Amino acid sequence: MSGGPARAGQSQAPGMVGRNRLTITHGGNIFAIARDRGWDWRSVLDLSASINPLGPAPGVRAAVERAMDRIAHYPCQRPGELEAALAAEWRVAPEQVLAGSGATELIHFVARSGWNGPAALATPVWSEFYRVFPHALRVSLDTVESWPQRGLLVLSQPVNPTGEAIPEELIRRTIAGREGPVLIDESFIDFTRLESAVAWTDRHPNLLVLRSLSKFHALPGLRVGALVGSREWMDRLARRREPWQVSALAEAAALAALADREHAARTREFVERERQWLLDQLDSLDGLKLYPGAANFLFAEIDPPAAEVCDWFLDRRIILRNCTGLPGVAGQAIRFAVRTRAENERFVQAAREYFCQG
């Protein structure tokens, strides 16, 4: 079907516009899809957004309720308490942390106020980077020799949407050997056992790390994220920063989430176990090639058209992420989140029905 934008309930892959632009679509569109189809959103299994399957830490709700008395007042222009807590969590100085209203807001801020020079994206990366840097050079993760030495280089750890881990030595070598700055998107790293690059920011003034609290701490509806970099870079960004980017409720929720280390440990163990269970259950299906991955989602190359697959699952109230057409993704591909066992079983049953029907 052609001739207009896709409705909320239709599958839509990232598409090429002109020579160098993409039509960017995101996952996590559960409310619009449910409204468009007349469904109760609670009956929809959204696997397009990879959020902590255990939900927020138990103390988050109470923390938000306690903060309700503060909503009649302006929050701090900068969320200093949250930035100090993040700095303690990541073992950097508070001056090296700049909190914001989610990772999306922060990378748009960087492009608007922190970097307006040439950029390169080591693909694949999170789709929003193509909107933020529409004219960026696109280079492959597999051809390091093609990465430019000048300008901003963007890459993700683990890779979004494949979930693969970039070798630490490659990242260290890239940071140390480049003339230009490096921005590493670590939105999903908390689900992994990988070492974060935040520990290297004080020694490498050309390094900027993007972190999200939406995924691991299950706070996407509150919008909280952070940038970590050298004191000089953060000071320069802070001077150009608009005030009140983190609400009182978001800060309270984030502080409660960070304080619950037991919930964080349970999450990592749970995701690792359920990810392996999904791999074992789906491994024998024809037309589905899975990437093991390191995060809380799985990426699969598929034989049938991804749009057809996503629409079939959507009719069964299961939302998948169509990755076909993203730079760095060859052929037809989908991504789906690791959820609870009951939710994973629902997806596996549908996957067996679809991929075994021939």
Q: What is the pLDDT of residues 298-316, one digit of tens each?
A: 999 999 999 999 999 999 9
Distance CA 179, CA 176 (A): 9
Same domain, 240 and 351: no
CB 19 within 8 A of CB 306: no
Flag whether 8 is in a domain: no
Distance CA 319, CA 336 (A): 8
Same domain, 93 and 179: yes
Residue 358 has pLDDT above 80, yes or no: no
Flag whether 4 is in a domain: no
Residue 40 has pLDDT above 70, yes or no: yes
Domain region containing 182:
60-260
Of 260, 275, 300, the residue at which a domain comes to its end is 260
What's the whole-model pTM score?
Answer: 0.91
Flag whether 249 is in a domain: yes
Q: Tell me how far apart the terminal alpha carbons of the chain are, to the nearest angstrom.
A: 25
Same domain, 23 and 126: no
Same domain, 229 and 268: no
Mean pLDDT calculated for residue range 336-345: 98
What pLDDT score was predicted for residue 114? Answer: 73
Of 207, 236, 260, the residue at which a domain comes to its end is 260
Tokens of 163: 């979930």
Counting other chains too, the contacts that 110-114 makes at CB distance below 8 Å and 24 or more residues apart are 110/183, 110/208, 110/227, 110/237, 113/237, 113/240, 113/241, 114/233, 114/236, 114/237, 114/240
Q: Which pLDDT band holds residue 113 (cuts at 50, 70, 90)?
A: confident
Count the domains in the chain. Answer: 2
Same domain, 316 and 248: no
Residue 8 has pLDDT above 60, yes or no: no
User: Residue 351: what are its φ and ψ, rounded to 5°?
Assistant: -65, -40
Write out pLDDT tens, residues 252-296.
999 999 999 999 999 999 999 999 999 999 999 999 999 999 999
What pLDDT score was predicted for residue 328? Answer: 92
Contacts for 173 with CB less than 8 Å, ≥ 6 apart: none
Same domain, 165 and 224: yes
Same domain, 181 and 239: yes
Same domain, 21 and 71: no
348 vs 29, residue with greater confidence: 348
Same domain, 122 and 240: yes
Q: Which pLDDT band holds residue 25 (cuts at 50, 70, 90)?
A: low
Of 228, 260, 292, the residue at which a domain comes to its end is 260
CATH code of 99's domain: 3.40.640.10
Flag whether 9 is in a domain: no
**What amino acid occupies position 126?**
W
CB 212 within 8 A of CB 206: no
CB 225 within 8 A of CB 126: no
Distance CA 47, CA 27 (A): 8
Flag whether 38 is in a domain: yes
Same domain, 211 and 229: yes
Placement of tokens 């090429």 in the chain: 16
Flag whether 6 is in a domain: no
Q: Which helix (H) or strand (E) holds 200?
A: none
Flag whether 241 is in a domain: yes
CATH code of 289's domain: 3.90.1150.10
Same domain, 142 and 225: yes
Same domain, 314 and 220: no
Flag whether 10 is in a domain: no
State the number of CA atoms in the 13 A half-sphere of 144 facing the CB: 11
